[in-house]
Structure 1
Amino acid sequence: MSATAERAIAPSTTPATAPDTARAGVADPGPLGLAAFALTTMLLSLANAGIVTEAGATAVAMALFCGGLTQFAAGLWEFARGNTFGATAFTSYGAFWLAFWWLRTAPGLAEDAGSAGVGFFLLAWTIFTSLMTVAAAKTNGATLTVFVLLTLTFVALSIGDLAGAAGATQAGGWLGLATAAVALYTAWAGVTNATWKRDVLPVWPRG
């Protein structure tokens, strides 16, 4: 896989829960999915930003087990809870990370795709994330911020691969770190507020 392609994929891709429509006995999977997304995104973004290039290798393992399988499972639980937004977001970005893992590990696949193939892969996710951002406007301020930052991250990374612009990829890495930070805060707020059974950490509810 080209160096550009290796640096070019960070989303992720992060989802959050809509207003609580939980069924009895099913805990909120949102914090789990957000944490899985945030940690995987953080590692790859460290490499994209040029801060710790070795983190890109560890992000591949995280992409399979954490960003991929864990987040996909969180999406299935959201389906059980009747949360269309959370289910669509978590399963989609879980699938994104699984696709990234396959792109990095399948023999010859990255070379066949090249920078153009990876760039259009990222562009497709840019479009999807932009649409999800519109829906996120009806969740809460923290979730909306995650999706706005994620959209900007995908835009920068798409430009990085399609135009061969290393500076855009590096900017995408910094935006990815910001996305991961807000997603991790949102996950922390979800766990803390549920455990304390009151709003300890704000997520800024919206209409």
Structure 2
Amino acid sequence: MASAQENGNTSAHDHAANGAQERKPYDYGGNPLAHVRTDGSVALPAFGGDFQPGLYKRNRKLANPAPLGLSAFALTTFVLSLINVTTLNITEPNIVVAIAYGYGGLVQLLAGMWEVACGNTFGATALASYGGFWISFGIILTPGGFNIVNTLEGVTETGGMAMTPEKFTNSFALYLFGWFIFTFLLLICTLKSTVAFFSLFFTLDLAFLMLGLGYLYADAGTPKQSLITAGGAFGLAAALLAWYNALAGIADNTNSFFVIPVAHFPWSEKGREKRGKVDNSAERAAQDV
């Protein structure tokens, strides 16, 4: 008589035995940022989902969209932040409009939609939202049909002087403060992840705060430059950290001679394991399966 396994049927006992034997909670696949999902980790926290750069997942049916979204965010933020710190005496962000629409907006939004397909709520929310941020930022700065800035400042169709410049700066400050609050909510979800991942949202949150204050305390329609410069500095840090995390999601032992070093928070799962606070014995594995 053929066995149950030969007939393609497997008992619950067989599943439990096989699961206990194959369970490897920290099989990083050469990448220290990786966190393998198991039967005991159904929920996808920020550092465990696909937006966690470097997630090692066997038999992946879809490529990891996180590095693409992070790269789109990084480059657009990098260029805008260079302008905010008046690099090469450039102060007008007109060049950012094209990047905001094409790369930071469209590409990042698409990456967020692919995170939906991957089943990662955090990654989808973050990438799609910041893609929307860059598209809306481009809309605000686009002259002509939208005419947002001129309408708020009271500029006539003939191009007269702005009558109420403070209305735009105050409105733009509220816009930035809204993104500051949203980024803070995401920041909370990274407290059990890695230092690199947390630092990305921390510096980005400070950038939104500084820029919002810079526009709030504008003088006759001119943002306070010291605060704008501070926001640009934090924005540059966020851009570099986004590229850093993106590289961590791309580089592995199949295409690179090194992996990106990261630091785990001591209260995170990996940090507790290093301190002997997590039981990964075979008996514990058998209980969780």
Shorter-chain TM-score: what band? 0.7 to 0.9
- Number of corresponding residues: 192
SS state at 1:79 partner: helix
Structure that is richer in helix per residue: 1
Please state whether the residue corresponding to 2:87 is helix, strand or coil. Answer: coil
Correspondence 1:64 to 2:98: no
1:116-171 Cα distance to aligned partner (Å, 9 max, x none): 11110000000100111001223332111100000000010000001112210111
Paired with 1:188 and 1:151, the residues of 2 have a C-alpha distance of 22
In 2, Cα distance between the equivalents of 1:47 and 1:145?
Answer: 22
> 1:112: how far off?
3.0
Q: Specify the alignment match of 2:83 in structure 1.
A: 47
Percent of residue pairs bearing the same amino acid type: 39
* Aligned 8 A contact 1:17 1:139 in 2: no
Distance 2:253 2:77 in 1: 24
- Structure-2 separation of matches of 1:89 and 1:21: 20
The Cα of 1:58 is off from its aligned counterpart by 2.2
1:175 to 234, 242, 255: 234
1:111 aligns with 2:155: no
Counterpart in the other structure of 1:17: 51
Report the counterpart of residue 3 of structure 1 in structure 2.
none
Q: Which has the higher contact order (CA 8 A, sep 6+)?
A: 1
* 1:40–1:33 CA distance, 2 compared to 1 (3 A): same
The 5 Å alignment of 1:1-207 reads 17-18=51-52, 20=55, 24-52=60-88, 53=90, 56-107=93-144, 108-113=147-152, 114-164=168-218, 165-193=224-252, 195-196=254-255, 200-205=259-264, 206-207=268-269
Cα offsets for 1:13-47 (capped at 9, x unmatched): xxx81484968311111111111000000000011
- Is the 2:67–2:245 contact (alpha carbons within 8 Å) kept by the matching residues of 1? yes
Unaligned runs of 5+ in 1: 1-15
Q: Could you tell me the TM-score, scaled by structure 1's length?
A: 0.84
Alignment RMSD (CA, Å): 2.2
Q: Give the deviation of 1:55 after TM superposition.
A: 7.6
> Quick one: which amino acid aligns to residue 158 of structure 1?
G
